[in-house]
Structure 1
């Protein structure tokens, strides 16, 4: 049995070891430094060592780079000129990436270097050579935005044929993408890179390149020379107007609508017309432009019979929905149903966009009583989300927004109790036990902190008779606030602990009641503890007025923010009395405007 030479490494790995090429260090150093005398001396020295004439001695670096690659990349024109004269065969040599020296010079936009290479004695400096990406030097020049270099390469051999690179990009595509009108004209007028895909969509269209590059002049040129290329579609079925819309290229959209308005009435593979793509992206200016040019596009329906307001609602674009609601001509879309019977409000509720839901429900024209094909109002859908899953924060806020304006339900279960408090199968029981434990832990921490604060009061105690053991700051208002709030926080958290301990006894019917009571009590405890801390710190630093005011300002703002978050999260939905909804309305409104959607 053979033993591996190196334990822990397989024999297969050992067999794959390779030794990289290496160049003579003096020659490499002279080439990178651009010292032509040292370069010549180093070349002669290498030739002597290898018993070869200098004109045939080739040294390769680790990436299979020749001295010509290195001198070109460092921009040493004199050395390149010498090599092109005496070692012209190196012009065709490629490095590990398939690049010739001309590729490197074109990519760098070095005009003089390109001229030196293409005027060498070797086949026009390797003009048609391709690298591993299928790019010639002309491809590289266009891709990197070097117009003058590209013009020189084209003029060197105007009749040379160029194929697509491995990305499927032609020279015309690259010129259109870069916005080179002059080069685009040259490519359209002669066989160089002539683009003809025979109606195929898998190749990249120069029309799309001009749109993506926001080059309206090139787009106009392509329209004048070859309008048939505008009929090509992308792989996902998008026409040029779709592409212009999705990139928010306003000038391109305007150009295409004026030249060929039928683009606005063509669907992509998703079933979207261009105006639906604009609604999905939330591009208000594009929507306005399309509606101004083709007002009847507002009637176009996408997949599942959805209008532009449906698409904007399901995408969560509340700003564009606000814009559409202000347009009288779009009024009939507000309560329109799709193939599933969903209105925009239904879709906003389904996808859980609370700010968008609020935007819709505050519009008096939105009919809250409308039901979809499942006989559900928007509140029914929100309630179902709460019943079937642990609702996300966004969906919980969506439900709250609908509850706070007392949206109607179509189902008979109008006395809905949040499933945030429901306990069903064994898995759900375990999940809720974990959550009860978290509440219990927080409550225990609050009890500990407030209990400790009650006996380490600010200012300490009076040790003189007859007031021994009495706090020194008893008469201070802030101290009284501290004591009251600390006491409330402690007893509230103790109540939470006792209630939740009862919920752990296994009585599932008690879990709902326990959480219904514990959550608001824990919120009160946290708020009171925050106020107690603020009062206590203010008291001990009160002699330094600016610091006391800073503490008071910071603490007050924090307590307000905490209250704004706690009120809707703890109380909304737990009561059906109308007065509660007036109390909760503005805190909920503030929460809605702090969330992203």
Structure 2
């Protein structure tokens, strides 16, 4: 019987996107036969985010453990494979057992695991200080042993946060003169000092600097020096010690340096020390940006002041593109920075050679406050009428951006020249080309002036259909074709709207000739786009009887088949009976196979799975335990396509499987060849429990700060996934370095910009607040991300304003009309009824009671307010976001009032009838009704209240505006 494949491919290495504006297209995973087993199928979207990487050759060398059988095996690193009893002793710090084994065979201490770790490495990873001392007393050469990751025991002790043990090992290296051990760099190029600073072990870092100053010269493969990391983490004492060493390196990631770190953190003290000793850092280019440019962009006024006080000429610096510092300040709207800059350099450049000034920049990015600052600064007054290379002034751009505040600010300036000359207006209306040419000959800029509605003379003549006039105007200034008025109409739109077809054809041809595609595409404000001999047989699907028996869990049949020496055990898609046992979690069958045919454990299916992978993916702990107990080297297996086993466990979030694996293989591989680790995988798959498990395991602590192929740490992944629980768990670790940047120079916080589609969720905003609390120095960057995100969200809402208004008005009007109907009916079915006595016929019986009067008043108020809301819903048809926001705010308050008044009317009406005979019931009804609005408010805002409770003082109400 034909079956589908049993398993799917485990996740290959991850690859997150880089800088927000240029997200690389993910490559598809490696080729393979698609699985059909629904228990192991991964989503297409997740698989598409992985990149295929082949593991290093040394990681593919997996040799069966035979030491317990009496033969000697070698590890993948070339040495003798470690005795399993010694491995267990090192993991648990059992020095007595280690000494007993060493007394019988001293060379046993030199045995290594498949990852090249000695018993000394293993004990250092677990922090067993006494064990380490006893091992060194027996064999001191273990101090200089390195594993496949290039790590010495010293580096392992530092990265696993065992500072006291690391200090002891450093002392032993000094006593024995093992300088090369102290200076050893791992496969990432990091030495012990890098990790000590990055993990926040300040005392250990100072001890390392004092013991071996040359450590300060080490630079890892990301070009990060110890000084740079110290500056990024603001460890001033360590920084100063490093700065005192003449030849200490100061470089950083992506061409950055220590001064860049000081600027990023806004640390004027470190910046001052650098400017006093190594002022050349101030002119080192950082991917096109020098430290002073970054100080301006990030609004670091104190650092900017230090830089300018030590070197005034920095204030006159231009970027490679010729952009001035004032333009960078205008781009971000940093008035304080611009003021400080002008205070030191009154005549600092204000624009580019093409005429684009800081005022144009401020207007284009809607920085109203900066525009007003420029208009008040005497040395910048002349920018008001300055033109760019298209002849446009700041007013032209302000009108095009439709920003009434900036337009008003510019128009109120006495130096501005904007109003169209009356004679030109008359000429455009009449089509008088001669008069227009005379005026343009004496002052060509006269053609750029506009009417109060933003119309140029070309707009006016297009309305009137003066084809000759339009041709003459375009011959003098073709830029008028792309001008838009306050209704966002170009002259082309104007001519079409006015019914001048021949003129519209002339203007269209001119736009095509000049390549003015945007002018043609412009929209106006109205938007106007599956028996002994038989045991050897296999069917057409390559399925043997043994495989089928294992798949069906027929243990008796399976054992009979297994007793036949040459019985087949193959299965569909190159699987075997052990794959089937792993799939079903049948440890009995698995044990029989490992005792008789252990070779099955290393055979892979068409999807590159050996039986270990499904045991991990399907969380079959009993089978996993059987496999590892018979051959622990299986735990170090790294397949061509699926990576190490810990990656598969992380993908599914199987903590127990990972725990069992680490129990037998303490140093099991944890990362792919591209650097992505099981921690990256767990975060990408949203496995919070697995992340917390990793953070609790000593031998996996260093994964917190490890980068993948794109330079991204686990924190980068967590922020982009917008998972506040994982972000909080990572930030709670003392070893984490939140200042690390990826290959694009982006910190973890910038990943929020790549999760723009989640910006209106509480998770996105909670992650934002968590990052702000963890790194307040990075607040400017975070607020810039928030501002850009808010602008895009607002713009999206603005485009959908009509739909939003219609949806809101429909829902609100239904509720309002319902409330109005209820209150209207209540007015004619008064509590107590009407009187039939002479002289008071038709009058309410309870008319003189206070509760009844309260009923009438509240019922009237409820009906009036709900009717008002219903009427507003009828007239509210504006396609304006600001109106929608006002409308929602106003109707929300009015409906809340109607809701409260209706509940009061209900309570007072019942009180009027019940008070005389059942006063206790009447009072209870009133109390319940009084609590109803409060409970409604509480339940409605419960998610935000919970968030506020979790974050405490870090909660920022204004950040939730987008939600």
TM-score, with normalisation over the residues of structure 2?
0.40
Match among 281, 285, 289 for residue 332 of structure 2: 281
Alignment of 1:231-242 (within 5 A): 231-235=283-287, 237-242=288-293
Post-superposition shift, 1:103?
1.6
- Is 1:360 aligned with 2:409? yes
Q: Which residue of 1 aligns with 2:303?
A: 252
State the SS of the aligned residue for 2:196: helix
> Contact 1:446–1:526 (CA<8 Å) still a contact in 2?
no
Q: How does 1:53-452 map to 2 (within 5 A)?
A: 53=106, 55-58=108-111, 60=113, 66-94=118-146, 98-107=150-159, 108=161, 109-110=163-164, 112-119=167-174, 123-124=178-179, 126-144=181-199, 149-150=204-205, 152-153=207-208, 156=211, 162=217, 164-174=219-229, 177=232, 178-179=235-236, 180-188=239-247, 193=248, 203-212=255-264, 219=271, 222-223=274-275, 227-235=279-287, 237-269=288-320, 271-297=322-348, 300-302=350-352, 305-333=355-383, 337-339=387-389, 347=397, 357=406, 360=409, 365=414, 380=454, 383-384=486-487, 439=809, 442-452=812-822
Contact 2:355 2:386 in 1 (8 A): no
How far apart in 2 are the matches of 1:168 and 1:174? 11
Q: Where does 1:27-38 land on structure 2 (aligned, <5 Å)?
A: 31=90, 38=94
Instruction: State the match for 1:465 in structure 2.
Output: 836
Cα offset, 1:113, TM superposition: 2.5
Q: Which runs of 5+ in 1 are unaligned?
A: 388-417, 501-510, 514-518, 559-593
Query: 1:293 Cα deviation (Å)?
Result: 0.8
Deviations 1:162-199 (A, max 9, x none): 553111123554465554223222143xxxx55799xx
Distance apart, 1:91 and its partner CA:
2.9
In the other structure, the counterpart of 1:583 is none
Number of the residue aligned with 1:398: none
Change in Cα spacing, 1:31 to 1:360, as seen in structure 2 (3 Å) is: farther
Contact map agreement 2:820 2:864 (CA 8 A) in 1: yes
Cα distance between partner residues in 1 of 2:361 and 2:145: 56
Q: Provide closer, same or farther for how the CA distance between residues 40 and 213 of structure 1 changes in structure 2, counting only shifts above 3 A.
A: farther
> Against the structure 1 CA distance between its residues 436 and 175, is the aligned structure 2 distance closer, same or farther, given a 3 Å change threshold?
closer
For the structure 1 residues 138 and 370, does the alpha-carbon distance in structure 2 shift closer, same or farther, using more than 3 Å as the test?
farther
Query: What is the alpha-carbon distance in structure 2 between the residues aligned to residue 419 and residue 472 of structure 1?
Result: 62
Give the Cα–Cα distance (whole angstroms) in 2 for the partners of residues 444 and 26 of structure 1.
76
Q: For residue 301 of structure 1, report the CA deviation from its aligned partner.
A: 0.9
What's the secondary structure of 1:286's corresponding residue?
A: helix
Q: Is the Cα–Cα contact under 8 Å of residues 60 and 66 in structure 1 kept in the other structure? A: yes
- 1:295 CA displacement: 0.9
Distance 2:345 2:176 in 1: 60
- Mapped to 2, the partners of 1:76 and 1:431 lie a distance apart of 64
CA distance in 2, matches of 1:214, 1:431: 40
TM-fit CA distance, 1:288: 2.2
Find the partner of 2:97 among 41, 47, 50: 41
Q: For 2:338 and 2:391, locate their aligned partners in 1 and report how far apart those are by CA, in whole Å.
A: 25
The structural deviation recorded for 1:523 is 11
Distance 1:366 1:453, change over 3 A: farther
SS in 2 for 1:268: coil
Does the 8 Å contact 2:266/2:303 carry over to 1?
yes
Q: Residues 461 and 469 of structure 1 are in contact (CA less than 8 Å); yes or no, is this contact kept in structure 2?
A: no
Does the 8 Å contact 1:92/1:122 carry over to 2? no
> Cα RMSD over matched residues?
5.8
Q: What is the distance in 1 between the residues matched to 2:240 and 2:417? A: 55
Shift of 1:540: 5.3
Are the counterparts in 2 of residues 264 and 275 from structure 1 also a CA contact under 8 Å? no
Decide whether the 8 Å contact of 1:271 with 1:303 is kept in 2. yes
2:193 and 2:215 in contact (8 A); partners too: no
| Aligned mates of 1:12, 1:534 — CA distance in 2 | 60
1:363-417 CA-to-partner distances (Å, cap 9, x unmatched) read 6659695689976679646843599xxxxxxxxxxxxxxxxxxxxxxxxxxxxxx
Q: CA deviation at 1:283?
A: 3.4
Report the equivalent of 2:795.
none
**Displacement of 1:253:** 1.9
Pairs aligned (count) = 487
Counterparts of 1:281 and 1:521, CA distance in 2: 31
2: CA distance, partners of 1:437 / 1:486: 23
Aligned partners of 2:125 and 2:222: how far apart in 1?
25
Q: How far apart, in 2, do the equivalents of 1:259 and 1:96 lie?
A: 48
Tell me the equivalent position of 2:863: 486
Q: Distance in 2 between matches of 1:145 and 1:520?
A: 50
Structure 2's unaligned 5+ residue stretches are 10-31, 41-53, 66-80, 421-444, 455-483, 491-522, 530-799, 880-884, 912-922, 938-959
Q: In the TM superposition, what is the alpha-carbon distance from 1:462 to its structure 2 partner?
A: 0.8
Mapped contact 2:110–2:118 kept (Cα < 8 A): no
TM-score normalized with structure 1 length: 0.60
* Structure 1 residues 27 and 386: alpha-carbon distance in aligned structure 2, compared to 1, 3 A threshold: farther
- Aligned equivalents of 2:485, 2:855: Cα separation in 1: 45
Q: 1:384 is paired with a residue of what secondary structure?
A: coil
Q: Matched residues in 2 for 1:254 and 1:520: separation?
A: 43
- In 1, Cα distance between equivalents of 2:176 and 2:487: 79
2-side partners of 1:332 and 1:326: how far apart? Answer: 11
* CA deviation vs aligned residue, 1:430-477 (integer Å, no higher than 9, x gap): 997997677556545543442233213485361553656969569948
Structure 1 residues 32 and 329 mapped into 2: Cα distance closer, same or farther (>3 Å)?
same
